[in-house]
């Protein structure tokens, strides 16, 4: 049913949490400041041992927001499906703990929906860096504004809105996926030819990982999840081609020449590759450019390892069930 007015639009905001005691209050405070207040906020907490649920309960007692808290052990897909099932309204906005919606975030999502009548609205998300490492990691973890194609930009659960009918049609998020469930959901939207519109001004801020170990872990999990779900991005195929070509050239050199010639290949190529990493991203991290080659190699290793791990899991599942 078409929605006629922003002021009369009722939206359920969906959030899942696990050990978000440090971030959940900031998110809820940002939702309190929305120019279009959410009609309800549904939080599904995965029985966090850090007291996230208790913090939400105490916040709800003092807040004007209509906060409904549920507890359910499971991954994000399981939690989101429960929250979406419990939602009372036909428009569903989703964001994540760790994000900070701008004050007009919900209004912009709804405004785009009213204008386009699209079934799904993809909002945007920007990085907020507090260290040089975080600044340098942003172009490796987010789509930068100048690289956005509004016609192909896919929704992510950091910032999106959809009708409940869409969620029902797609039978929810795939509960076997815990790391890339929104990418899988977005691909199914495309396959079903469900209308998607991009709301560039519906923005949430997100803080990237603060150290190399967590940066590697995040990209590894995403790549593993993609491979497990049978989702293969063109950039990943290009990455494998790049390193397979290098490995093949090295083996040829080892066969026909001495091992020292391999180093003569690797060292200059490695330096050039690091320079390329700086050149392509320095405009996003002008004060943190020294991190860019390190993050490029780390990202490559994480994606390669994660994809291989995911393929191994998928293969075992196909063979052994």
Q: Is 313 exposed, middle or buried (0-12, 13-18, 19+ CB in 10 A)?
A: middle
Total residue length of the chain: 321
Q: What is the pLDDT of residue 246?
A: 84
All structural domains of the chain: 11-206 (3.90.550.10), 212-320 (no CATH)
What predicted TM-score, i.e. pTM, was given to this entire model? 0.87
Q: Does the pLDDT value for residue 6 go beyond 60? A: no
Give per-residue pLDDT as tens, 245-278. 888 777 776 667 777 777 777 788 889 999 999 9
CB of 128 within 8 A of CB of 206?
yes
Strand pairing class (91-94; 11-17): parallel
Provide CB contacts within 8 A for 97, sequence distance 6+. 15, 16, 17, 20, 23, 24, 27
- 5 versus 298: which is more confidently predicted? 298
Q: Check if the beta carbon of residue 303 is closer than 8 Å to that of residue 219.
A: yes
Q: Reduce the DSSP state of residue 253 to 3 states and report it.
A: helix
Per-residue pLDDT for 114 more than 70? yes
% residues pLDDT > 90 (the chain) = 78
Q: In what order do the strands lie in the sheet with 99-101?
A: 67-71, 40-45, 11-17, 91-94, 160-163, 120-127, 196-206, 99-101
Helix axis angle for 260-281 and 234-256, nearest 10°, is: 160
**pLDDT of 269-281, one tens digit each?**
889 999 999 999 9
Q: Tokens 């959901």 sit at which residue? A: 185
């Amino acid at each position: 049913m078409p929605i006629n007015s922003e002021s009369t639009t009722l939206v359920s905001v969906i959030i899942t949490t696990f050990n978000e005691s440090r971030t959940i209050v900031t998110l809820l405070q940002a939702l309190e400041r929305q120019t279009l207040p959410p009609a309800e906020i549904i939080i599904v907490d995965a029985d966090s041992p850090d007291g996230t649920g208790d913090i939400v309960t105490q916040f709800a007692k003092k807040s004007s927001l209509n906060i409904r808290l549920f507890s359910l052990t499971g991954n994000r897909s399981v939690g989101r499906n429960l929250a979406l099932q419990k939602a009372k309204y036909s428009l569903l906005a989703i964001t994540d703990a760790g994000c900070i919606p701008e004050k007009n975030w919900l209004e912009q999502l709804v405004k785009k929906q009213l204008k386009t009548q699209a079934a799904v609205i993809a909002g945007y998300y920007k990085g907020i860096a507090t260290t040089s490492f975080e600044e340098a990691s942003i172009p490796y973890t987010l789509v930068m504004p100048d690289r956005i194609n509004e016609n192909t930009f896919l929704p992510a659960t950091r910032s999106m809105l959809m009708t409940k009918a869409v969620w029902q049609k797609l039978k929810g998020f795939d509960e076997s996926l815990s790391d890339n469930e929104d990418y899988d959901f977005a691909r199914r939207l495309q396959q079903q030819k469900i209308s998607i519109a991009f709301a560039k001004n519906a923005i949430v801020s997100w803080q990237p990982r603060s150290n190399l170990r967590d940066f590697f872990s995040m990209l590894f999990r995403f790549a593993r999840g993609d491979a497990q779900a049978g989702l293969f991005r063109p950039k990943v195929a290009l990455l494998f081609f790049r390193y397979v070509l290098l490995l093949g050239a090295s083996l040829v050199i080892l066969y026909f020449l001495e091992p020292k010639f391999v180093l003569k290949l690797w060292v200059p190529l490695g330096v050039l590759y690091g320079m390329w990493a700086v050149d392509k991203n320095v405009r996003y991290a002008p004060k943190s450019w020294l991190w860019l080659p390190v993050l490029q190699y780390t990202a490559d290793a994480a994606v390669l390892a994660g994809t291989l791990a995911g393929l191994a899991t998928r293969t075992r599942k196909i063979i052994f069930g």
